[in-house]
Structure 1
Amino acid sequence: MAAALISSLPHPHPHPLLLIIFFFILISSIVAALASSSSFDDSLIHEDDRDGGGLVSVSVSVEQLAFLSRNVAGEVPPAILTKLSPMTAHDSARYALNPDLMTPGPGDHDANNNNNDDFCSLAHLACASAFHDSAKTVTNTYTTTKTYATPRAAALNSNNKVKEDPFSFFRRSLLKSGNRIRLPDLHESLPDRSFLPFPLASRIPLNYSALLRIFPALSSESSINLDALVRNTLAYCSAPQIAGETKSCPTSLEELVGFAKSSLLGNGNLGKIVGLASKNMDAKGLGDEVVVGEVKEYEGVDNKIVACHEAFLPFAAYFCHSLSSTKLYGVEILVVDDAAGEIMKKASKSTSAIDNTTAAAAATMLAICHMDTSAWPKDHVAFKILKTGAGQGEACHWFTMLDVAWIAAH
């Protein structure tokens, strides 16, 4: 077809611009066919993000970076950047055209002999033998198992006998420069895995049977802890939203940014968003008594904030929601050591910068305060810790390094 069209041109040597136009039309038609079966509103995906059905072997991560640069202002949180897909556009298109390639082959449905290792390796997922290795390192996530209890998910959590950390929730008055506080255990561990390219993620329904078909290793005895985490994730994602809440469980980078933009900027999606995250949380002092340094409030447009907490699935996924009446803070955390008196003195100077070399700054952490808890479940763990009830004051908690907050760029 291409040869016939080129030979029909009036010049023996066609103009390069005409060739470019021809191949652009061909690429666009292939991408349109791939995207037509998806229910995701892909108006946020620029035409340059669609690679043309694998005609070139450009990395999907290059396209994802370009997508981020058009939609996110400033520095992108490391939690997002480390999850970019390592797949090539060619491989992504190949699996999108034939989704059955993602599943184990005939006769290989033994959970311990998963034959879709090629797919898992190409996409950098936590599946097959990786499940068994990951089971030793996964911990219950602070923000999902202890913070956002819903009736259905809380029932699963009660079976895990997760002990409430008395420092998981606090009052906003705690966020005052110079205060001595004790942090909860914020260290988390989830398997290292990447986002699936959007054309692939959109073909995997968010239900257990669909996941088990592609990742049968979930059902093995050695993966029982991960199986429980997957079921817990699905419980959060399917739970009804509370009053004033907008929620989503994005399983691709495009869905994640798309949900944040639509929640913060409305259906027009004009403008960019800013991603915020806690930093340096592996430093000394976390989980111990620390001192609050400088506190900065982040103000989004119309005070809207989207919080996204990493959830466990074989591929990178998040539980995102936007609640009304929330406030977001960046809090400098200072280590308490032999110079604690000097730290306290310096931290009390709220109008001046902290001398990090003297004050031993450990981390900058995000804290979010939900100012209206009237719609929360009456048995929410926050009320047990704060000794209050629904609607009886604000409830604040910290973000781990796995969590990301989004606000609209001014």
Structure 2
Amino acid sequence: MASTLRFSVTFLTLLFSLWVVEVHTSRKLISIKEEEDQTISHLLKDGEFDDPSLYMFFRINDLKYDLKSGSKLPIFFNKDDPQKLPPLITRQEADLIPFTTSKLDFLLSHFSISKDSPQGKAMKETLERCNYKPMEGQLKFCGTSLESMLDLVKETIGSNADLKVMTTKVTVPTQNTVSYALHNYTFVEAPKELFGVKMLGCHRMPYPYAVYYCHGHKSGSRVFEVNLVSDNGRQRVVGPAVCHMDTSMWNTDHVAFKVLKIEPGTAPVCHFFPLDNIVWLTK
């Protein structure tokens, strides 16, 4: 009973932190100047990619930075305006709405969304992704409510009360405002690897209401807790990072390969997590 209570409190704390209203959001890109001693050739040059969210991928060797060298990683930790996010709905409400590509026309009509609009195309892509059969060794599902996501997490990686929740957290001194933009970051300390854990990463998907795409692998992924500071020293970021060690079965068009300039199966793909994503862990 005590362990269940502790987990419930932790989960409620998570929900509060995920949905608290932020009043400042910025998507401004900074320029990334090449330092004379910069030896990390795969870092994206300014202007090569217009979408700053692509600055979430990195190579596993980047976790082995010499902390004294001051090597930098350009990373984009975005936070959407909560007032513009699709609403959370209850499991009871979600169960009354079909969630399948075969009902796409009905769903578009139900939500008054045009099939050819950006929202309509995003709905189709979300449904297709959620309905794909998992790859060999992959764990995946889509949670259409927080209750269903929690139940599916327990079914997938463990039903005990030892589940741990990790999210990316940004902190600044009280007199400063959080800047959700592209910054150069350095490690405050060596990343801490979490050994012997099962992991599911849950990503918010574009849809008329809150939907989380959760996935993981039965083996072959390494999980780290990282502690970063922005190049101006004003912003600290603590959160999870995951390295997928075997990408041989991934789609060759996956954006991570374009960002890191590698081919499937040739090297691990690592990534940080956006602020509204959730990582579930258990032993």
Query: TM-score, with normalisation over the residues of structure 2?
Result: 0.72
Matched residue SS, 1:401? coil
AA partner of residue 363 (structure 1): V
1:332 counterpart residue number: 227
Residues 291 and 335, structure 1, Cα contact 8 Å, conserved in 2: yes
Note the alpha carbon deviations across 1:75-125, whole angstroms, 9 max, x for none: 6564576569xxxxxxxxxxxxxxxxxxxxxxxxxxxxxxxxxxxxxxxxx
Q: Distance in 2 between matches of 1:261 and 1:317?
A: 17
State the identity as a percent.
24
2:261 maps to 1:387: yes
Stretch moving more, 194-203 or 311-320: 194-203
Q: Distance in 2 between matches of 1:210 and 1:294?
A: 51
Does the C-alpha gap of structure 1 residues 336 and 383 become closer, same or farther in structure 2, counting only changes over 3 Å?
Answer: same
2:190 maps to 1:299: no
Query: TM-score, with normalisation over the residues of structure 1?
Result: 0.51
2:163 counterpart residue number: 273
1:182 counterpart residue number: 74
Q: Distance in 1 between matches of 2:13 and 2:221?
A: 21
Q: CA deviation at 1:248?
A: 0.7
Q: CA RMSD in A?
A: 3.3
Residues 251 and 318, structure 1, Cα contact 8 Å, conserved in 2: yes
- Matched residues, number: 240
Q: Distance in 2 between matches of 1:328 and 1:251?
A: 25
Residues 91 and 146, structure 2, Cα contact 8 Å, conserved in 1: yes
Residues 108 and 120, structure 2, Cα contact 8 Å, conserved in 1: no
Q: Gaps spanning 5+ residues in structure 1: where?
A: 1-67, 85-136, 140-160, 338-358
Note the alpha carbon deviations across 1:241-282, whole angstroms, 9 max, x for none: 2221111111011210112112211xxx23331111001277
- How is 1:131-150 mapped onto 2 (pairs within 5 angstroms)? none
Q: CA deviation at 1:295?
A: 4.2
2:154 maps to 1:258: no
Q: Distance in 2 between matches of 1:391 and 1:297?
A: 25
Residues 278 and 363, structure 1, Cα contact 8 Å, conserved in 2: yes
Does the C-alpha gap of structure 1 residues 80 and 236 become closer, same or farther in structure 2, counting only changes over 3 Å?
Answer: farther
1:235 counterpart residue number: 128
Q: Report the structure number with the largest CA radius of gyration.
A: 1
1:171 aligned to 59, 62, 80, which one?
59
- How is 1:7-406 mapped onto 2 (pairs within 5 angstroms)? 69=5, 71-72=7-8, 74=10, 76=12, 78=14, 167-175=55-63, 176=65, 177=67, 178-184=70-76, 186-188=78-80, 191-207=84-100, 208-215=104-111, 217-219=112-114, 224-265=117-158, 269-280=159-170, 283-284=178-179, 286-297=181-192, 299=194, 302-323=196-217, 324-337=219-232, 359-406=233-280
Q: Distance in 2 between matches of 1:78 and 1:199?
A: 21
Q: Distance in 1 between matches of 2:91 and 2:154?
A: 17
Does the C-alpha gap of structure 1 residues 335 and 70 become closer, same or farther in structure 2, counting only changes over 3 Å?
Answer: closer
AA partner of residue 331 (structure 1): V
Q: Gaps spanning 5+ residues in structure 2: where?
A: 28-48, 172-176
Q: Distance in 2 between matches of 1:277 and 1:365?
A: 6
Q: Distance in 1 between matches of 2:223 and 2:197?
A: 9
Say which structure is richer in helix.
1
Q: CA deviation at 1:227?
A: 1.9
Q: Distance in 1 between matches of 2:12 and 2:223?
A: 18
Q: CA deviation at 1:330?
A: 2.3
2:31 counterpart residue number: none
Does the C-alpha gap of structure 1 residues 206 and 167 become closer, same or farther in structure 2, counting only changes over 3 Å?
Answer: same
Q: Distance in 2 between matches of 1:396 and 1:374?
A: 14
AA partner of residue 172 (structure 1): I
2:46 counterpart residue number: none
